[in-house]
Amino acid sequence: MAHSDVLVFLLSLAVLLGVARLLGELAQRAGWPSVAGEIFAGVIVGKTLLGRFAPGAFSWLFPEGSPATMLNGYKTIAVVLLLVVAGLEIDLTIVRRSGKALVYTSVFSAAIPFALGWMTGLALPDSYLVDPSQRTFHTAFLAIALAISALPVITRTLLDLGLMKSDIGMLVLSAAVVNDIIGWICFSVLVRQMDPHNAGGGLLRSMGLTVGFLVVTLVVLRPVVDRWLRAMEPSPGEAAPTTRVLTMVTVLALMGAAATEALGIHAVFGGFVVGLAVGDSPRLREHTRHVLQEFVTSIFTPVFFATMALRYDFARSFDPVLVLIVVSIATVAKVAGSALGARLGGVGKREALAIGFGMNSRGAMEILLAVIALEAKIINERMFVALVVMAVVTSLISGPAMARLLRATPSPVQKLLRAGAIQLDLAATTRRDAISELTAALCTKLGRTGESSRFCDAVMAREDTAGTGVGDGVAFPHADADGLTEPILAFGRSKTGLDFDSPDGEPAKLIFLLITPRGDYQRSLHLLAGMARLLARQEVREKLLVARDSQGVVAALSDAKAAGQTPIPGSERSPTSRA
C-alpha cells in the first residue's frame, strides 16, 4: 500500500466527515433532518460542485483505485452499523401487545401507498427507467419505497410532542415497526431477485431465504444473545461490560451482514435483523446502546450519506415534475392509508389524520433504500433525487402537522414532572422516609444538594398538621419554601403503599410531592387542584401504577381536556391493552 494512498484515504475521510457533520448540524438547527445536510455535503465536495468547478482537486481527493476501495470498506461498515442502531431502536414488545387499531393501521398505511406506488410505476414513461425491460423491478421498488416509514424520525417527533408513551404514540410507533420490518423484507427479496449473479432464482426462494434468515435470527440467535448478555452481567462492584457487549454486537452484525450478503440479500438487512435480535434483550444496557449510537452517529453515518452524492451530478438530475409527482403521491397515499386504517380501528377523525402525518415521514431509511437501489441500477439518478426530496419533505411536515392536529401541549403537571424527579420504586417503608427519599431525589436532579433536609422538614411539618392522603391510594405531600422561583414536583410509587392518613384508610401508592415558592398560595392551590382532578380518573391511576419508566408516568398525566382537545378514543379504549 503506497504512502500516498493512505494519505488520500485519510484526507478524503476527514473532508467527508467534517463537511457532512457541519452541514448536518446546520440542517438540524434550521429544523431539517440532519441527513439532508449530510447528503448535501456530498453534493458540495462531490461531482456536482467540486467536480464541476475544481475537477483537479476532486479527482485528487477522490481517485479511483485503492483509496476508493478503502472508502468503500468504511462505507460498508458504516451502513451495517447504522442499520444495527436502527434495529436496536425497535421495541418488539409494543408490537406483541397488538390490537385491532394496530392491525388496521399497519395494513392500510402500507397497502395503499404500495398500491399507488405500483400504479405510478406502471404509468411512468420509459424515459424514467434505467432499463425499460426491467420495468417490473422498478415498479416493485417504487411500491416498497412509498410504503415504508422512518422510525427514527417518528420517534423524535413523538418525543418532541410529549406523545411518546401515549396511546396515539404507541399506535404510530408499532405500526411503523411493522411497516419497517415488512418493507425491509420486501426490499431484500427484490435485491435478491435483481442480482444477475444470483444462481437460485425464483420469487418464492428469495422470500423463503429472507424470511428464513429473519426467523432463524429472532428464534435461534435472540435467546442465545440474551443468555450471553446475562453471562456478561457484572457482579456487584465490577465495571459494566460495555466494551465486551459492543464487540459482541459488532461481530454479530458483521456476521449477519456477511450471511445476508452470501444469501444474495443486501448486507444491510443482516445488520438490521441482528439489531432487532440484540435490542430485544432486556439485558442490553441503555449505556451500551447509547455509546454505540453516539459513536455511529459521530463518525460513521455522516460519511455514508456524504459518499452517496459523491459520484453523481445531482444538479442535472433534479426533475421538478417527477419530484412533484413522487412527493404528492407518497404523501397522499400514506396519510390517507394510515388515517383510513386508524379510523377503521376506532380512532377519532382528527387523531387518525395526525397518525397519517406521523406515518408519512420517510427520513434516512428512505434515502438508504434509494442509495442501494441507485447502486444496484434499479432506479436512475432522476428518481433518486426525487426520492431524496420526498424523504426530506415528508419528514419536515410530519411534526408540525401532528402538533397542529392534536394541539398537543404538555400540561403544567407534565412539565413540572419532566423537570423534577420520578422514583418508580420507592425503597421507603414509612411516610417520613418516602418524603426524605423524594426530596433527596429532587435535590439531586435539580443540583440543589444540601437543601434536601430543609425541604423534607418543611413537608413533614405540613404532614404533622394533617396527612395529605386523598384516598384511592394517592397522596399529595406539599409545602412552600424560601429560595424557589418555580414550583418543583417529584413523583414516587410505592409497591406496598404507605400510610398517609387517607380518609379511606387506604395506603398511598402514588405520591406527588410538591414544593412551591414561599407565599405563592394561588399557584400551589391551582396545581394541587389540577392534580387532584387528574388523579380522580381511574384510568390515569391505573396507567401510573403500571408505567414502566419515567416517560410512561409523564404520558399518563396528559390532560387531554385541559389542552382544549377532543378526547383520543385510544386513551379510553386503549387499543394496546386488548392483547
How large is the angle between the packed helices 431-446 and 452-465, nearest 10 degrees?
A: 140
Helix runs in 363-507, H state only: 363-375, 381-406, 412-419, 431-446, 452-465
The single residue listed with the C-alpha cell 413523538 is 158
Q: Specify the residue, 59 or 298, whose C-beta has the smaller distance to a copy of itself.
A: 298
Residue 564 CB, nearest distance to a copy of itself (Å)?
A: 27
Residues 345-374 that bind a copy of itself (CB under 8 A): none
Q: Specify the residue, 220 or 251, whose C-beta has the smaller distance to a copy of itself.
A: 251
Q: Specify the residue, 326 or 441, whose C-beta has the smaller distance to a copy of itself.
A: 441
The single residue listed with the C-alpha cell 438540524 is 28
Window 258-277: contact mask with a copy of itself (x via CB under 8 A): x--xx-x--x----------
Which grid coordinates belong to 266? 443486501
| # chain residues binding a copy of itself, by CB under 8 A | 69
Which grid coordinates belong to 305? 450519506
The single residue of 138, 197, 478, 526 carrying the catalytic annotation is 478
Q: Specify the residue, 31 or 564, whose C-beta has the smaller distance to a copy of itself.
A: 31
- Interface residue with a copy of itself among 195, 313, 319, 381 (CB under 8 A) is 195
Residues 288-347 that bind a copy of itself (CB under 8 A): 291-292, 294-295, 297-299, 302
Q: Specify the residue, 44 or 92, whose C-beta has the smaller distance to a copy of itself.
A: 44
Residues 420-479 that bind a copy of itself (CB under 8 A): 426-429, 432-434, 436-437, 440-441, 443-444, 448-454, 456
Which grid coordinates belong to 138? 422498478
Q: Is 290 a catalytic residue?
A: no
CA nearest to 556, candidates 209, 223, 164: 164
Residue 435 CB, nearest distance to a copy of itself (Å)?
A: 8
Residues 232-261 that bind a copy of itself (CB under 8 A): 242-244, 246-247, 250-251, 254-255, 257-258, 261
CA nearest to 47, candidates 33, 72, 34, 64: 64
Residues 76-115 that bind a copy of itself (CB under 8 A): 76-77, 80
Furthest CA-CA distance within the chain:
85
CA dist 372 and 379 (Å) reads 9
Backbone Cα Rg of the chain: 27
Q: Specify the residue, 7 or 529, whose C-beta has the smaller distance to a copy of itself.
A: 7
CA dist 558 and 120 (Å) reads 42
Residue 323 CB, nearest distance to a copy of itself (Å)?
A: 30
From residue 452, how far is each of 12, 105, 157, 436, 535 by CA, in Å? Answer: 54, 48, 36, 7, 26
Question: Which helix (DSSP H) or strand (DSSP E) does residue 26 occupy?
Answer: helix 3-29
Residue 374 CB, nearest distance to a copy of itself (Å)?
A: 14
Phi (first) and psi of residue 71, to 5 degrees:
-65, -40
Length of the chain: 579
Residues 9-28 that bind a copy of itself (CB under 8 A): 9-11, 13-14, 17-18, 21, 25
CA dist 33 and 388 (Å) reads 12
- Interface residue with a copy of itself among 72, 134, 136, 328 (CB under 8 A) is 72
Would you say 563 and 407 are in contact if contact means Cβ atoms under 8 Å apart? yes
The single residue listed with the C-alpha cell 395526525 is 354
Span between the terminal Cα atoms of the chain, in Å: 59
Residue 453 CB, nearest distance to a copy of itself (Å)?
A: 4
Active site residues: 478
Residues lying near a copy of itself in the complex (CB under 8 A): 1, 3, 6-7, 9-11, 13-14, 17-18, 21, 25, 66, 69-74, 76-77, 80, 195, 197, 242-244, 246-247, 250-251, 254-255, 257-258, 261-262, 264, 267, 291-292, 294-295, 297-299, 302, 426-429, 432-434, 436-437, 440-441, 443-444, 448-454, 456
